[in-house]
Structure 1
Amino acid sequence: MDFLLSRKGSVLFLNILFFFLLLLFPLAAHLHSPSRRALRLHLKEKSCKDLLHEIKDHESICAYLKSRQQVCTPEGFIDYLQIFYCACGGSPFLGCILLALWLLVLFYLLGNTASVYFCSSLEGLSAVLRLPPTIAGVTLLSLGNGAPDVFSSVVSFAGSGVGDVGISSVLGGAFFVTSVVAGVIAITIDSRGFPIAAVDRSSFIRDLCFFLLVLVSLLAILIVGQVSIWGAMAFTSLYIAYVVLAWTGHFCKQKTSELAVPILDTSAEEDDEETGSSQPPKANSPVSSQVRRLLRLLELPLYLPRRLTIPDVSEERWSKPYAVASVTLAPLFMSALWKSQRGDVSSEETVLIYLVGGLAGIVLGILAMETTGKDSPPKKCLFPWLAGGFLMSVVWSYMIAGELVALLVAIGDIAGISPLVLGFTVLAWGNSLGDLIANVALAINGGRDGIQIAISGCYAGPIFNTLVGLGLSLVLASGASHPSPFVVPQDPAIFETIGFLIGGLLWALVILPRRGMKPDRVLGVGLVAIYLTFLCSRLFECLKIVRLGITPFNV
């Protein structure tokens, strides 16, 4: 029973969900064969959400979805609307449970890919490139922590061409981290009864003032309503100014810092026999050995596809068979992904794509076989390995983020909720939950430096996500529409979120210096109260438009 409450128990639960859903989704389109009804042509002019709530029975909705109309086309690899209305049409409750479980799996996959593979490649690249700790902390480390938000934002702009989900997820995540995470840290360390270490005043004021400048710049873009490629590049380049500012402060103080070691190891493939735990070993019985073998099998659906396509040269996870397989299969995987993204491809082009990918994989596999050892990762020529691991982890994160955004859009269509609201809440919470756990643990167990790093991370991370994640998205979108400017979303909810976010930053900027730069309950309660006020306002607005997905059914 203790195992079920452990980390491996939670990973096993997610693997079972993944395996179950993986089997169920391909059968979705064949479980029901409703009679196709004649649907009027004027339905094509309506949005998908309006259509789903205008048609009054699930059979007609399913018939419309299967008629391959262009209004409700899926944005990801899976058609979630057909799963909900066709496969689970007779049981909306089952459909809601199925989509919610898949949402949990996607959040886990996105976070786990970023923490295990993406961050590992970034740390290796930092060491190979010999970056100063300060520069690595505000660039590579921030990129590793903010990868889910960055990929979600880029996917939103690339997929829909509008980017409302991307903007809402970045701003919602920034608001959650700077208010809830920072507030919980302050409340937690104050409630322990120990003396509170003071936060560095200059670094704190620098980060908050710069973040306010970033938000004012973003607000100006939103008020104008459009941005050119040069304006988007100027907005993104503000991060270079932030890095230079941080490096200058570090140089002037003549201090050295170290990259923080991840507190929580979320790798699904960790083996208890290889961790070198100092605790006394437990007796192994034939039954427990069989259970462990079964658990490893159940972990494969989540673990194996990424392990076989992402090169990994970390010391603790090194395996020559996996390394050779990953560099061999990665080009084939990229070929298959490229073919799927291009849509209709002739048979000759398909053969050529797979032939190039296969030949590249064979060559890289032979090189890996001849230049690596069995017991330890390579010590020389690490850059190609790290670059390959970085590229493939980016590809996997981008794919998972795209599917996550597509699922949220489908949930919004089913429930009658704007995807913008889901970006502010569900997507922002899912991407920021790891920050909450890691930063609070660091503040509690890391001493004086732990509190400083945790509080700084609550502001440096959102600055990166806003400038790089949202900025890169604006650059790509404006580049696609060049020479015409890109029209940015101007939903009132975005302006409201920026207003609350600025209010939380101003509260921290005023209160913390007045409390002697010591995070306490006054700061924490105020930040959490500001976020709860924002959440209540969003909830009250949603209640006016929310209609549950079961209302179109005659049940």
Structure 2
Amino acid sequence: MELSSTTISSTISTTMMAGAVVQESIENTIAPTRNQCHYVMTLPYKERCDFVMSTDDCGADGSVLMNTFRFIFCDFSEEQSYIGIIITVCVMAFVFITTAFVADGFICTNLAVISRSLKLPDSIAGVTLLALGNGIPDLFTAFAGAELNHPEILFSSLTGAALFDVTIAAGCVIFLRPFYIDSFTWWNVIFYLLSYGTLFCGFYFRNLSVWHSVGIISIYVCYGVFTVTHFVLSGPHEETEPIDETDEEHLIQIAKAKTFTLPPTSRGTLQSTVELLKAMERSRLYRVMGYRYSIRRSADFGYSWRRPKHLIIEFLNFLDFRDNYDWYEGSACQKIAVIVQLPWIIGLKFLIPAVIPGILINDGWCKLLAMINSLIYFDLLLYCFGVSDKEIGPFQLWQYGLVLGLLFFFLILFTSRTSLKPKYHTVFAYAGFIAAIGVCRLLCTEIVVSLQAIGARLSLSTTWLALTILAWGNSVTDFVSAASLSRQGLQNMGYASLYGGPMFNCSVGVALVYFIVYFQGKPLHAFYGVLSPVGALFLLIALFSTAILMPTINFEGRRVMGLYLIILYCMFFFLCILMETVIHPFGTQYKLVPKVT
């Protein structure tokens, strides 16, 4: 009996000591250490600037466009530090908008031309090139997080963006305009469950390896094979009807009365991509409007480089936005929207080459603009990938790039005509895709660094910011695209796109990021933060419930289903706020591991 009581008392004392050690370690690990960026708020204000500029965890050196850490911690007094936060938020908004323009206007457009030049079937292009183009912003945001040694951003940003797509965006599409859901969308949900579940297991068990990445890619390959087989066996596809002269004149009159526009590029599945391409091909109105614009520009046919006057006139006509955006027929709101977009549209045209098939004569060929693109192309790539100041021999790389740019400038000048596209015009699609990749990488790195600066100043964890703010910025184009498709009666197309894009990102995208980091010789730690499993839990709940509800309600997209998805995201966001401010005050991205004594 005495031995028993002694054992009990010893056990109790040991348990109390262990509990004290765990509690002490929790308190120590919740508070950031000196080598972590969030430690800056524990320092006096005068020491914060030197700390963030010298601490590797902050990643201030990764900022290229503007050093947001300097704006927030160095350039203003403590009382005026909020000015730096406001400037950083404005910069982030500008970068988000620019990223959306680059992805939709240049990456996807050039990839469509590349797929046609490679003679890929639409079904294959939909699950490879076009899916890659739609997921580029999310992928480079994840890559920037991994490159800056913040792997929790990789997992959290993809989880948050996917959760926003399958709850808020999908819920609004169903709630605003109920429709019958295509039964094939159910398979999108199932394959997405498999790919995301595999990704989560890799992070949860800290076992993200080469073979794990190969397994994730294999799931997407199976999905692609299954989808292509489904479309091949589903029956013959509709053929494009020719346009006769009577219909053409009638459609021109319709075009004068009402503008016909296609929605922005949505991050879609194979199904949504193929349907969008077919809709564009079947639309005789779309083709006639492009033909009308071709007639206007064909008046300059025949001028060559020997007539520089007409070279400049052709260039000015190309930049004239009034005909390109139906300026005269548009409403006041549409005109304001065009004016707001002009700085991005014109600026990016000078930076990134693009081939615009079907809409403009000669696929949008403009000789002077092509010469300008080639002049700055190589220096743009060197700058975007951060190697412009590297030295090879007596010169820096940007000087070699300038020489190459001048060489191609004069090559285009003497080998092409003003209003007749050259045989090598398709090469501009490949070059434009590479340039857009570089610009997108630069912008996404800037977004991640800005988020880190805001998080350090406001004591918000990077996981929380990635799950919410970063996810919203990356997914807002998905939401707008799906809503635009829904308004035009293409609810199934928009709804399917909300599953295909995230599925590509969390399978092929994550695997590509891992392989790039792996071959760079950098370790990619499978670390996701304390808050990320909450997002993963709600995402899995949304996917499981959607997979169950679809056949249960006979694939009828009812408002109650949309409302349920919206409420589910609101619950997630409310819980995120509680975990960041109340349940785990400060530092929720740090894993609570007891110290070993």
2:47: which partner in 1?
Answer: 60
Distance 2:552 2:52 in 1: 59
Q: Residue deviations 1:202-257, cap 9 Å, x none?
A: x1221111111112211221232022223223323432222111101111102538
- Structure 2 counterpart of 1:424, one-letter code: L
User: Matched residues in 2 for 1:506 and 1:391: separation?
Assistant: 38
The 1:280–1:136 alpha-carbon spacing in structure 2 relative to 1, beyond 3 Å, is: closer
Separation in 2 of the partners of 1:398 and 1:439?
Answer: 25
Q: Kindly provide the CA deviation profile for residues 449-500 of structure 1, in whole angstroms up to 9, marking residues without a partner as x.
A: x122112111111111111222211222334458xx7430142322222221
Distance 1:70-1:221 versus aligned 2 partners, 3 A rule = closer
Q: CA deviation at 1:278?
A: 7.0
Residue of 144, 156, 170 corresponding to 2:145: 156
1:353 maps to which of 397, 420, 424: 397
Corresponding residue to 2:408 among 364, 378, 381: 364
Corresponding residue for residue 329 of structure 2: 279
Q: 1:64 to 1:510 in 2, by over 3 A?
A: closer
Indicate whether 1:373 and 2:360 are aligned.
no
**Cross-structure match for 1:199:** 181
CA distance in 1 between counterparts of 2:428 and 2:128 reads 20
**Cα separation, 2, equivalents of 1:112 and 1:391:** 15
Give runs of aligned pairs for residues 242-253 of structure 1, distance below 5 A.
242-253=223-234
Aligned mates of 2:140, 2:319 — CA distance in 1: 24
**Aligned-partner residue type, residue 76 of structure 1:** S
Deviates more, 1:421-430 or 1:141-150: 141-150
* Displacement after TM superposition at 1:120 (Å): 1.3
Corresponding residue for residue 556 of structure 2: 518
**1:87 match: secondary structure:** coil
Distance 1:270 1:204, change over 3 A: farther
Q: 2:156 aligns with which of 157, 165, 168?
A: 168
Cα offsets for 1:65-107 (capped at 9, x unmatched):
56x4556450312322221122123313322211111111010
Task: Tell me how far apart the structure 1 counterparts of residues 539 and 320 of structure 2 sit (CA, whole Å).
Answer: 39
Question: Is it true that 1:403 corresponds to 2:453 in the alignment?
Answer: no
Aligned residues: 475
The question of 1:416 aligning with 2:435 is answered: no
Judge conservation of contact 1:152–1:166 (CA < 8 Å) in 2.
Answer: yes
CA contact (8 A) 2:36 2:55 kept: no
Q: Deviations over 1:412-445 (max 9, x none)?
A: 1111111111111111101111111111121221
Is there any run of 5+ residues in structure 1 with no aligned partner, and where?
1-42, 191-195, 283-287, 549-555
Residue 312 in 1 paired to residue 388 in 2? no
Matches of residues 76-475 of structure 1 in structure 2 within 5 Å? Answer: 76-77=63-64, 78-89=66-77, 90-158=79-147, 160-190=148-178, 196=179, 198-201=180-183, 203-256=184-237, 262-264=262-264, 271-276=321-326, 279=329, 300=343, 302=344, 306-314=348-356, 316=360, 318-337=365-384, 340-341=386-387, 345-346=390-391, 349=393, 351-375=395-419, 377-378=421-422, 380-446=423-489, 450-475=490-515
TM-score (ref. length: structure 2): 0.72
Assess if the C-alpha contact under 8 Å between 2:49 and 2:70 holds in 1: yes
Rounded to whole Å, the distance in 2 between the matches of 1:323 and 1:156 is: 34
Deviation at 1:270, TM superposition (A): 7.1
* Residue 537 of structure 2 corresponds to residue 537 of structure 1: no
Provide the secondary structure at the position in 1 that maps to 2:463. Answer: helix
| CA–CA separation in structure 1 for the residues paired with 2:32 and 2:465 | 25
The residue matched to 1:308 in structure 2 has which SS?
helix
CA apart distance, 1:353: 2.0
Q: Which residue of 1 aligns with 2:530?
A: 492
- Among 488, 499, 517, the residue aligned to 1:477: 517
How has the CA–CA distance of structure 1 residues 277 and 95 changed in structure 2, closer, same or farther, with 3 Å as cutoff? Answer: closer
Aligned to 1:509, the other structure's residue is in SS state helix
Which one-letter code corresponds to 1:279 in the other structure? E
Amino acid at match of 2:69: L
The one-letter code of the counterpart of 1:510 is I
Structure 2 CA distance for partners of 1:262 and 1:138, relative to 1, 3 Å? farther
Corresponding letter in the other structure for 1:239: Y
Deviations 1:355-404 (A, max 9, x none): 432332223223322343323544x3343211101000100011001111
Q: Give the AA of the match of 1:252.
A: L
Alpha-carbon distance in structure 2 between the residues aligned to 1:441 and 1:359 = 45
Q: Quote how far apart the aligned CAs of 1:342 are.
A: 7.8
Per the normalisation by structure 1, the TM-score is: 0.78
| 1:5-16 → structure 2 map (5 Å cutoff) | none
For 1:123 and 1:385, locate their aligned partners in 2 and report how far apart those are by CA, in whole Å: 13
Opposite residue 240 of structure 1, the aligned amino acid is V
Is the contact between residue 415 and residue 547 of structure 1 (CA under 8 Å) also seen in structure 2?
Answer: no
Counterpart AA for 1:105:
F
Query: Is the 8 Å Cα contact of residues 113 and 429 (structure 2) preserved in structure 1?
Result: yes
- CA distance 1:93–1:337, shift in 2 (3 Å): closer
The one-character-per-residue Cα deviations of 1:31-72 (angstroms, maximum 9, x if unpaired) are: xxxxxxxxxxxx99613444321113x333235456x45564
**SS of structure 2 residue aligned to 1:311:** coil
Deviation at 1:169, TM superposition (A): 0.9
Q: Distance in 1 between matches of 2:347 and 2:495?
A: 36
Alpha-carbon contact 1:150-1:468 (below 8 Å) kept? no
1:208 & 1:541 partners in 2: Cα distance? 29
Output one character per residue of 1:156-200: Cα deviation in whole Å (capped at 9) or x when no partner. 212x2342112111111111111111110000003xxxxx3x222
CA 1:536–1:391: 2 relative to 1, 3 Å: same
Q: For the structure 1 residues 386 and 535, does the alpha-carbon distance in structure 2 shift closer, same or farther, using more than 3 Å as the test?
A: same
1:279-330 Cα offsets, whole Å, 9 max, x none, are 2899xxxxx9xx99xx79x955x45653333112325454321111111211
Shift of 1:501: 0.7
Q: Which letter maps to 2:263?
A: I
Structure 1 residues 361, 433: CA separation in 2 closer, same or farther (over 3 Å shift)? same
Identity %: 21
Q: Could you say if the C-alpha distance between residues 163 and 72 of structure 1 is closer, same or farther in structure 2, counting changes exceeding 3 Å? A: closer
**2:165–2:475 CA contact under 8 A, matched in 1:** yes
Residue 354 of structure 2 aligns to a residue in which SS? coil
CA distance change for structure 1 residues 177 and 494 in 2, over 3 Å: closer, same or farther? same
Q: Could you tell me how far 1:519 is from its partner in structure 2?
A: 0.9
Counterpart-to-counterpart distance in 1, 2:418 and 2:527: 53
**Aligned CA-pair RMSD:** 3.3
Show structure 2 runs of 5+ residues with no match.
1-30, 241-259, 267-317, 588-597
2:198–2:216: 8 Å Cα contact kept in structure 1? yes
Please state if 1:47 is matched with 2:97: no
Distance in 1, Cα, partners of 2:394 & 2:447? 28
Q: SS at the partner of 1:393?
A: helix
Higher Rg: 2
Question: For 1:79 and 1:98, how far apart are their aligned partners in 2?
Answer: 11
Distance 1:182 1:64, change over 3 A: closer
The residue type equivalent to 2:374 in the other structure is V
One-letter identity of the residue aligned with 2:493: I
